[in-house]
């Protein structure tokens, strides 16, 4: 006679297989990260060996055989400068939007949030295409030329002749692109401030602005800084729109000195030169090395941002990635 | 004594009035600036949509949507291969990305309440923010160099890397919303855990998961950077998974590099097709959820459910 228990020992242990499969899928992401770091390092170690620290600090860039020199400093600086400029323009606007949404009545706040989220869904290439054909001209004639004419001789930032494809226009496109991310996270963070805090401020007779100053900003400071850094991370990794608008200078000329000068970022030089680089030369390892540097910078920024934001937003973790 | 105190009170009152006025003015200014921020952010979106549709619609025609690109600068031909490539690549990367993402989400929700789970969750979030061009380089190094040529596989692999962490997190979030009692009910009936997960929990969490998957599809259909070094681009229709292929974002990029007006016109047309696909997915998902989650929507479904019986 067959007992129920006996029968079950002959069954395939499907639950175990299920758990193992799920765990493997979960661990996949860790394996991919390790592989990416390993691959990028091992494929670029030739250039690290040859150039050493000059790869980070040098600014000569020459792929011609025999005269090879690879210094990525202008591109690293280009990335940092454009991202910082984008942050300085985009973050205050984003926080303003978050303040508006947290105060506005529901029938305005709801649709507005959707519109802002749609801004996030527009792909980078379309921002770039629009920036190149529409926004560039607007910027050139309405902002860059007037600034250059007025301050060109006195302020070094505006001294080079504007052309529209420069660090300034790339930064503005980046600022537009990080607004949805930063404002969505800031909105959630301001929503996480306890109502009691706001009511206490109102009870003391505070105006709306004073309520923000007294109750929300001090409480949400960490989270808002995290949101800003998250935007910085996005801006650092952004490729296509920047590639189309930054002017793609190479070598020492690409080192950012003025606002209206063509530059180059880490991601844009990869997008521009990767296909033409021959795997046999040092050119490809150099580009992969830049990719590796970019990855390290972006990951460091994002880890800091996640730690700051998640401390504030234990409740709604998913939102950070929306 | 009385007089001086009354005088003092009057003085305080006037001070207070003055103070209130100033504070209210500052409040108005601050709120005006806040409103200005909103307007500044809305203008680019409005301009992008307006320009893309205004310039793009006139480029659209049956020929434009189905033909291969004509000679450079001729203004003839279309973006047929690009549309085909984008659709094939979405399909291929979904085949890799969705199973991994869903299983990973199941792991995080059902088995993820431990150290490994927290590690995976954290790195999943960090991985989601990896620059997409780095993922392109990775796909290039692992697949293009291995096979020796640019191929659809490499592009699909790169896109699946963008896709699966998004799906994993949205799946996890929606699985966590399913009440524990559902799982207990299934287990109490003697079902195995995988049956409970797939037949009960996943079925209950279907809406959230579909949203996540569709948003991930919308996201990858606009990705350009990783495609540059994986599928390369081509002007021919599909000729095997091993060969280079075109994609809509890549085609827009190539067209933007050309100095001809006709190329710009075609670029707007391609941008219009791409943005329509992406906005349709986004708006559709949001609308579906808005109606389904509202009280009215729920009531509607309950009534409809009741009638069927």
CB contact under 8 A, B173 and A294: no
Q: Which two tokens stand for residue B68?
A: 């291969």
Specify the pLDDT at position A317: 44
Q: By C-alpha distance, which of B115, B131, B162, B152 is closest to A29?
A: B162
**Burial class of A147 by CB neighbour count within 10 A (0 to 12, 13 to 18, 19+):** middle
Tell me the shortest Cα–Cα distance from A304 to chain B, in angstroms: 10
| A6 burial via Cβ count (<10 Å: 0-12, 13-18, 19+) | exposed
3-class SS letters over chain B: CHHHHHHHHHHHHHHHHHHHHHHHHHHHHHHHHHHHHHHHHHHHHHHHHHHHHHHHHCCCCHHHHHCCECCCCCCCECCHHHHHHHHHHHHHHHHHHHHHHHHHHHHHHHCCCCHHHHHHHHHHHHHHCCCHHHHHHHHHHHHHHHHCCCCHHHHHHHHHHHHHHHHHHHHHHHHHCCCHHHHHHHHHCCCCHHHHHHHHHHHHCHHHHHHHHHHHHHHHHCCCHHHHCCCECCCCCCCCCCCCECCHHHHHHHHHCCCCHHHHHHHHHHHHHHHHHHHHHHHHHHHHHHHHHCHHHHHHHHHHHHHHC
pLDDT tens for B206-227 read 888 888 898 899 999 999 999 9
Q: Nearest-CA neighbor of A296 among A71, A50, A41?
A: A41
* A22 → closest Cβ in B35, B111, B222: B111
Alpha-carbon distance B304 to nearest alpha carbon in chain A (angstroms): 28
Judged by DSSP in three states, A109 sits in helix
Q: What is the pLDDT of residue A205?
A: 86
B106/A208 touch (CB, cutoff 8 Å), yes or no: no
Flag if A40 and B141 touch (Cβ within 8 Å).
yes
Using a CB-CB cut-off of 8 Å, the residues of chain A touching B33 are 96
Give me the interface pTM, i.e. the ipTM. 0.88
Chain A residues whose beta carbon lies within 8 Å of the beta carbon of residue B282: 117-118, 121
The answer to whether A30 contacts B120, with C-beta atoms less than 8 Å apart, is yes
Which tokens sit at A60? 């000569």
Between A317-321, B49-53, B128-132, the lowest mean confidence (pLDDT) is in A317-321
Instruction: Kindly list the residues from chain B whose CB atom is less than 8 angstroms away from the CB atom of residue A100.
Output: 34-35, 37-38
| DSSP class of A62 | E
pLDDT on residue B297:
43
Per-residue burial over A263-274, b if 16 or more Cβ lie within 10 Å, else e, is bbbbbbbbbbbb
Would you list the DSSP string of A86-97?
A: HHHHHHHHHHHH
Distances (CA, A) of B35 to A97, A178, B32, B39, B41: 8, 18, 5, 6, 10
- Answer yes or no: do A126 and B48 touch at CB < 8 A: yes
Q: How far apart are CA A113 and CA A308, in angstroms?
A: 23
Per residue in B134-193, pLDDT tens? Answer: 999 999 999 998 888 899 999 999 999 999 999 999 999 899 888 899 999 999 999 999
Candidates B125, B234, B261, B285, partner chain A, best to mutate (most A CBs within 10 A): B125
Put simply, the answer to whether A33 touches B127 (Cβ < 8 Å) is yes
> Does the CB of A121 have a partner CB in chain B at under 8 Å?
yes
Interface list for A 26-65 with B (CB within 8 A): 26-30, 32-33, 35-36, 39-40, 43
Task: Indicate the average pLDDT of chain A.
Answer: 87
Q: Does A321 touch chain B (CB under 8 A)?
A: yes
Of B221, B268, B286, the CB nearest to A114: B286
**Which residues touch A305 (CB under 8 Å, ≥6 apart)?**
A226, A227, A229, A230, A232, A233
| Across A279-305, average pLDDT | 91
Separation in Å, CA of B172 to nearest CA in chain A: 9
* Structure-token match 């600068």, residue found: B73
Give Cα separations from A195 to A211, A213, B298 (angstroms). 11, 15, 29
For the segment A75-89, what is each residue's pLDDT rounded down to a tens digit? 999 999 999 999 999
Determine whether the interchain pair A14/B192 forms a contact, defined as Cβ–Cβ distance below 8 Å: yes
pLDDT for the residue A103: 86
Question: What tokens does A217 get?
Answer: 């900003």
Among partner residues A29, A43, A320, which is closest to B120 by beta-carbon distance? A29
Q: State the CB neighbour count (10 A cutoff) for residue A213.
A: 15
Looking at the complex, report in whole angstroms how far the Cα of residue A70 sits from the nearest Cα belonging to chain B: 18
Closest to B219 measured CA to CA, from B126, B89, B123: B89
Q: How far are the Cα atoms of A105, A245, B68, B75, B267 from residue B260, in angstroms, in the given order? A: 48, 18, 18, 8, 11
pTM for this model (two decimals): 0.87
B159's CB contacts (< 8 A; 6+ apart) are B89, B90, B93, B97, B220, B223, B226, B227
* DSSP state, residue A318: G
Q: Which residues of A fall within a CB distance of 8 Å from B219? A: 121
Q: Are A152 and A158 in contact (CB under 8 A)?
A: yes
The A residues from 143 to 172 touching B (CB cutoff 8 Å) are none
- In A, minimum Cα distance to B226 occurs at A271
C-alpha distance from residue B242 to each of B144, B165, B230, B238 (Å): 10, 26, 11, 10
In tens, the pLDDT along B49-79 reads 999 999 999 888 888 888 888 877 777 888 9
Flag if A96 and B34 touch (Cβ within 8 Å): yes
By the 10 Å C-beta count (0-12 exposed, 13-18 middle, 19+ buried), B286 is classed as: middle
Q: A150 to chain B nearest CA, in Å?
A: 24
Task: Say if A177 is an interface residue toward chain B (CB within 8 Å).
Answer: no
B231: closest chain A residue by CA: A275
Give A 210-229 residues with CB within 8 A of chain B: 210, 212
Q: Which two tokens stand for residue B240?
A: 């095997």
pLDDT digit string (tens) for A107-160? Answer: 888 888 888 888 888 999 999 999 999 999 999 998 888 888 888 888 878 888
Cross-chain Cβ contact A123/B274 below 8 Å? yes
Q: Using the beta-carbon criterion (under 8 Å), do A27 and B116 form an inter-chain contact? A: yes
Task: State which residue of chain B sits closest to A240, comparing Cα positions.
Answer: B225
The mean per-residue pLDDT over the stretch B227-231 comes to 90
Smallest CA–CA distance, residue A205 to chain B, in Å, is 10
């Amino acid at each position: 006679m067959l007992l129920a228990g006996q029968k079950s020992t002959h069954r395939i242990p499907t639950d175990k297989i299920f758990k193992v499969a799920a765990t493997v899928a979960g661990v996949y992401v860790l394996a991919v990260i390790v592989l990416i770091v390993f691959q990028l390092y091992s494929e670029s170690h030739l250039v690290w060996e040859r150039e050493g620290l000059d790869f980070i600090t040098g600014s000569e860039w020459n792929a011609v055989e025999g005269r090879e020199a690879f210094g990525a400093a202008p591109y690293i600086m280009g990335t940092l400068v454009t991202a910082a400029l984008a942050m300085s323009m985009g973050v205050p606007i984003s926080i303003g939007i978050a303040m508006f949404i947290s105060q506005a009545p529901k029938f305005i706040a709801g649709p507005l949030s959707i519109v802002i989220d749609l801004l996030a869904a527009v792909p980078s290439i379309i921002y770039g295409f629009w920036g190149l054909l529409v926004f560039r001209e607007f910027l050139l004639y309405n902002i860059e030329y007037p600034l250059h004419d007025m301050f060109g001789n006195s302020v070094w930032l505006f001294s080079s002749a504007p052309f529209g494809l420069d660090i300034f226009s790339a930064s503005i496109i980046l600022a537009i692109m990080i607004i949805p991310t930063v404002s969505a996270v800031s909105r959630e963070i301001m929503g996480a401030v306890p109502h009691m805090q706001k009511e206490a401020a109102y009870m003391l007779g505070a105006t709306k602005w004073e309520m923000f100053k007294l109750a929300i900003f001090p409480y949400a400071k960490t989270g808002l800084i995290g949101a800003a850094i998250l935007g910085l991370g996005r801006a650092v990794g952004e490729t296509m729109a920047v590639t189309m608008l930054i002017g793609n200078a190479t070598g020492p000329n690409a080192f950012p000195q003025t606002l209206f000068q063509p530059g180059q970022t880490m991601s844009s030089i990869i997008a521009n030169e990767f296909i033409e680089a021959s795997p046999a030369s040092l050119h490809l390892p150099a580009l992969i090395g830049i990719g590796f540097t970019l990855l390290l910078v972006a990951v460091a920024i994002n880890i800091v941002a996640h730690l700051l934001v998640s401390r504030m937003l234990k409740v709604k973790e998913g939102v950070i990635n929306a | 004594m009385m007089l001086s105190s009354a005088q003092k009170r009057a003085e305080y009152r006037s001070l207070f009035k003055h103070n209130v006025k100033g504070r209210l003015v500052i409040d108005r200014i601050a709120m005006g600036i806040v409103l200005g921020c909103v307007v500044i952010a809305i203008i680019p979106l409005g301009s992008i949509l307006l320009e893309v549709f205004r310039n793009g619609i006139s480029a659209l025609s049956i020929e434009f949507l189905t033909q291969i690109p004509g000679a450079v600068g001729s203004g003839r031909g279309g973006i047929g291969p690009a549309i085909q490539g984008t659709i094939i690549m979405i399909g291929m990367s979904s085949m890799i990305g969705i199973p991994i993402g869903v299983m990973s989400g199941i792991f995080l929700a059902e088995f993820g309440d431990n150290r490994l789970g927290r590690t995976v969750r954290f790195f999943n979030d960090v991985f989601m923010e990896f620059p997409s061009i780095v993922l392109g380089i990775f796909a290039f190094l692992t697949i293009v160099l291995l096979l020796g040529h640019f191929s659809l596989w490499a592009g699909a692999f790169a896109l699946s890397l963008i896709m699966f962490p998004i799906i994993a997190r949205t799946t996890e979030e929606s699985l966590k919303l399913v009440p524990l009692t559902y799982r207990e009910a299934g287990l109490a009936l003697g079902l195995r855990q995988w049956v409970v997960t797939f037949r009960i929990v996943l079925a209950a969490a279907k809406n959230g998961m579909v949203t996540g998957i569709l948003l991930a599809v919308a996201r990858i259909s606009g990705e350009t950077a990783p495609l540059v070094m994986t599928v390369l681009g081509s002007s021919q229709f599909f000729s095997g998974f091993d060969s280079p292929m075109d994609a809509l974002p890549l085609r827009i990029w190539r067209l933007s590099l050309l100095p001809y007006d006709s190329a710009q016109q075609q670029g707007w047309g391609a941008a219009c097709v791409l943005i329509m696909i992406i906005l349709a997915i986004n708006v559709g998902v949001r609308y579906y959820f808005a109606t389904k989650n509202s009280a009215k929507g729920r009531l509607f479904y309950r009534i409809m459910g009741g009638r069927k019986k």
